[in-house]
Structure 1
Amino acid sequence: MGHREDLLEGAKRCLLAKGFVRTTARDIVKESGTNLASIGYHYGSKDALLAQAYISLVEGLGEAFDGGGTVGESTAPGSVERFAEVWSNIAGTMREPGSVWRLSIEVVAMGDQIPEVRDHLARAQREAGRGLIPLLMGGREEDVPEDDVDTLGAFYTTLMTGLIAQWTFDPKTAPDGERLAEGLRRVIEAARPTGGAP
């Protein structure tokens, strides 16, 4: 590996151990076996490196989201059953102590102290919505229209943020995919017109 990759791997380890605010550039250098100048040369700043490290950690969970490639084998795209399956997989990534998702809560709580990290992750969140759409609705990520990213993708990332918060603050009562799907069923039922023309 070169310095760029070493820095990224070192930053990931630092994030998991210390979080965004407590990780210093010297921590990353020590963990990666590189030097301070490498951070600026390869990433521009420590915060940009930490944001990229976080995105890389989250991307590493993608296989868990789709059950190792098994999502959709028995559920139709766009169905409530697919919704339950995918969100159960996502909730499964939040069950472990020290989950990477606690870092999202740190960004929400401390965003003013780490504005560059917050800005990087805000941009990445839109792309996360783009990635969730085919997982839940079928199709390919590269074919997702921008309007869907701005609506459906935003809906899914908002749900994700709320789920992360619930699993961080109260894992004993945080919902799994089945409970979320039941909530969705009730919303759909309540939204159906009663009597008269549809």
Structure 2
Amino acid sequence: MGTREDLLAATKQCLADRGYARTTVRDIVAASGANLAAINYHFGTRDKLLNQAMLEATAAAVQQILDSLPADRAGDPAARLNTFWHKLIDSFTTDRVIWTANIESTAQALHSPTLRAETGAAQQQARAGLTEALGAGDPAIGALLQTLIGGLLVQYLIDPDHSPTPEDLAAGLRGLAELSTPD
């Protein structure tokens, strides 16, 4: 890896460990082995480096969602969704750094128009991927799944022992479907 890539990797780790507000250029320099001037040379400012790292982490999180989808699209849709939930929840543990950075970037996007636009584009990509993979072409299903994923992620990162299981999610979706059906 080059200096730019080292800075980005170190920044992603610092973001996951410390969060946006508590990540300093000294932290990044120490973690990357680069010098302070390299941040200015490659990114211009600390905030631009942090934003780039968060955008990349968000893109990785979106890709993680899409990669967790079962490959067999012809199989039972309920089994496919169940497999998806299990793989996704497992990834919250195995790829915690990516998911933590994703939440951090979502919060920071509220204060950065550039980051908000990039995060919005990533969310649209995620909805489209979920619609294609699990929504049978219905964008409302992709939108609902993305909404559930965001809430599940926050719950899991804060209190994994009390977060909904795939079975809880399936039961809740069945219950919502029954409530949503007009008489």
When the two chains are superposed, the root-mean-square deviation of aligned CA atoms in Å is: 3.5
Q: Give the total of aligned pairs.
A: 181
Q: Name structure 2 gaps, 5 residues minimum.
A: none
1:33-182 alignment, distance < 5 Å: 33-58=33-58, 59=60, 62=63, 66-67=67-68, 70-72=70-72, 75-76=75-76, 79-95=77-93, 99-107=97-105, 115=112, 119=116, 120-137=118-135, 148=139, 151-182=140-171
Letter in 2 for 1:126: Q
Tell me the SS of whatever aligns to 1:22. coil
TM-score by length of 2: 0.73
Q: Does 1:191 align with 2:173?
A: no
Residues 179/72 of structure 1: CA separation in 2 closer, same or farther (3 Å cut): farther
The aligned amino acid for 2:90 is G
Residues 15 and 23 in structure 1, CA contact (< 8 A), matched pair in contact too: yes
The aligned residue for residue 27 of structure 2 is: 27
Indicate the SS of the match to 1:132: helix
Query: How far apart are residue 21 of structure 1 and its match?
Result: 1.6
- Please list every run of 5 or more consecutive structure 1 residues that lacks an aligned counterpart in the other structure: 139-143
Contact persistence 2:61–2:98 (CA under 8 A): no
Does the 8 A contact of 2:106 with 2:119 survive in 1?
Answer: no
Report which structure shows greater RCO (CA 8 Å, sep ≥6). 1
Counterpart check, 1:9 vs 2:9: yes
99 and 74 in structure 1: CA distance in 2 versus 1, 3 angstrom threshold:
farther
**For each residue in 1:2-56, what CA deviation from the matched residue of structure 2 results, as whole angstroms up to 9, or x when unmatched?**
2221211111222232222211123222322323343344334333332332344
Q: 1:39 to 1:66 in 2, by over 3 A?
A: same
Deviations 1:166-186 (A, max 9, x none): 112322221122221221122
TM-score by length of 1: 0.69
Inter-partner Cα distance in structure 1 for 2:83 and 2:39? 40
Q: Contact 1:132/1:156 (CA < 8 Å) preserved in 2?
A: yes
* Deviant stretches of 4+, over 6 Å: none
Q: 1:87 to 1:117 in 2, by over 3 A?
A: farther
Q: Structure 1 residues 57, 105: CA separation in 2 closer, same or farther (over 3 Å shift)?
A: closer
Task: Work out the percentage of aligned pairs sharing the same amino acid.
Answer: 35
